[in-house]
Amino acid sequence: MKKKILSTLLCMTMMATMVTGYGVSEVLADDGQELTIMHMWSDDMAEQKVAEAVAVRKAIDSFKEKHPDVKVVEEQISQNAGYESKIKTLAAANELPDVFLALPSMMSMFYDNGQIMDLAPILDEEKEWNESFSNGAFGDYTFGENILGIPRCAIMNHVLYWNEEIFSECGINEFPKNSTDMLEAVKILKSKGYIPMACGNKGKYLLASQIMPGILFKSVDNEWYESVKNYDGGSFENPEVVEAITYLKDLIDAGFFNEDVNSIDELQARELYYAGKAAMYVEGSWSVSGFINDTTQEIRDKTNITVMPPMEGKENLDDQIVTGQGWGFALNADLEENEQDLAIDFLKELTSPEIQAEGVENGLLSVLKDTPYDEKKLDPFYKEFLELYNSKDVRVGCPEVQLSVAYMDASYTGYQELSVGDMTPENLAKSLQEAHESAEW
């Protein structure tokens, strides 16, 4: 392997990227070493104060200062512009970057193919760095004894924004407390001419990995999910899961989403909410900073944040939320020792207290136990989000993030087909279970 480090960066999401283009930039070096960084955030996004972009930019700049002899090459590809397809294509050609972002579902496949490293031995050696992370910080990337990724921030997959003024105008004086109340509210909002829930599912992931997990885990508990992950009796064909999928179908049939739900992206869906055409929208926690930066005080004053209410009769699940780390950094299995050291130095920059603190001040969730952020710099709306996040005691992982690529693909396609009436809840549950079983070790 020639002397280079190829690092790929991605936050979100996301789950959560907002640019739609490609870009490459280079910083020349003296002795031929390289660090190539492939990520989702452009310099323009950093200038616009998009939190993930700011964090990556500062980490790269700090790395450059400390390693002036290393040539830094950036390739910037947004999720909407095809990052996921690109990384899968590189993997199929066995040309993965030296350091790159991947979803946990991808990591397990890449590791099985001998393409990425187990980072557990490195973390064991780097005790101070390892012990700086919060409990569970490697949850999405842990497979048995192996740790296959490093987080760039923590995430909450499902954050529901709702316009209190629209609800009140329609005679709904409080947010629905259970699934029955929510379905009734959707019908009222629709009858008054509003889009109940703005959704941009053009990329297929928003329905499957942000909206549906918020419904699913108000019907099933973490014990069920652990039994599914470990192939220990849990199934997507369990009655509670079919009930949750059926409930989503009932919401859709009642006019839950905008009619062009599968032809617009999440940014366009946000605009429907900002313009007062939609009463609600859902994204992950990475969207909080964008909401703060993109909206007027008037919109923020009308907006509250919460999560989907529990299924009726399952009110005990109200404190359960979907969290994790999402896209994380993996290292190419072919890295030589000096290349590995440089890659780890870069990841240490991104997860340093200084950059994590600035991330919190810009609207992200830190991956560290102790993050020295300045509370005075926190936006009041972000404080509301932190209160929501900290008020929920039970945290579960996201199936579309943690399970296999086969499951992820089946969920992306299946929930889109459900949304247009081409698949029944029972058939979708069967498809998800079959995809999950196909990846059993």
pTM of the model: 0.84
Residue 391: inside a domain: no
The SS3 assignment for 75 reads strand
Sign of CA dihedral 101, 107, 110, 116: positive
**Domain range enclosing 129:** 5-154+325-372
Residue range 315-363, pLDDT digits in tens: 999 999 999 999 998 999 998 888 889 989 999 999 999 999 999 998 8
- Based on the domain organization, do 44 and 109 belong to the same domain? yes
Concatenated DSSP letters of 401-417: HHS-HHHHHHHHHHHHH
Which tokens go with 19? 């640019």
Residue 180: inside a domain: yes
Q: Which residues of the chain have pLDDT under 70?
A: 1-31, 441
Report the distance separating Cα 320 and Cα 266, nearest Å: 24
- Based on the domain organization, do 330 and 317 belong to the same domain? no
Phi/psi at 327 (5° precision): -60, 130
The amino acid sitting at 370 is D
Residue 388: inside a domain: no
- Based on the domain organization, do 81 and 127 belong to the same domain? yes
**Helix H or strand E encompassing 354:** helix 353-361
Residue 257: inside a domain: yes
CB-CB contact of 13 with 326 (8 Å): yes
- Based on the domain organization, do 265 and 410 belong to the same domain? yes
How many domains is the chain partitioned into structurally?
2
- Based on the domain organization, do 345 and 409 belong to the same domain? no
Residue 380: inside a domain: no
**Ranges of H-type helices in 11-125:** 43-47, 51-66, 83-92, 104-112, 120-125
Q: Which DSSP letter does residue 364 get?
A: P
- Based on the domain organization, do 410 and 268 belong to the same domain? yes
- Based on the domain organization, do 286 and 431 belong to the same domain? yes
Look at phi and psi of residue 68 and say left if phi exceeds 0, alpha if psi is from -120 to 50, else beta.
Answer: alpha
Query: What is the reported pLDDT for 31?
Result: 60
Query: What is the reported pLDDT for 97?
Result: 85
Which tokens go with 320? 């359960």
Residue 384: inside a domain: no
- Based on the domain organization, do 337 and 308 belong to the same domain? no
- Based on the domain organization, do 62 and 120 belong to the same domain? yes
Query: What is the reported pLDDT for 24?
Result: 39
Query: What is the reported pLDDT for 105?
Result: 87
- Based on the domain organization, do 292 and 332 belong to the same domain? no
Residue 385: inside a domain: no
Residue with the two structure tokens 């991605």? 10
**Distance from chain centroid for Cα 386:** 17
Residue 386: inside a domain: no
CATH number of the domain residue 177 falls in: 3.40.190.10
Phi/psi at 25 (5° precision): -140, 155
Which tokens go with 266? 């999440």
Report the distance separating Cα 83 and Cα 402, nearest Å: 18
Query: What is the reported pLDDT for 29?
Result: 44
- Based on the domain organization, do 97 and 176 belong to the same domain? no
Closest CA relative to residue 310, chosen from 425, 216, 194: 216
- Based on the domain organization, do 306 and 331 belong to the same domain? no
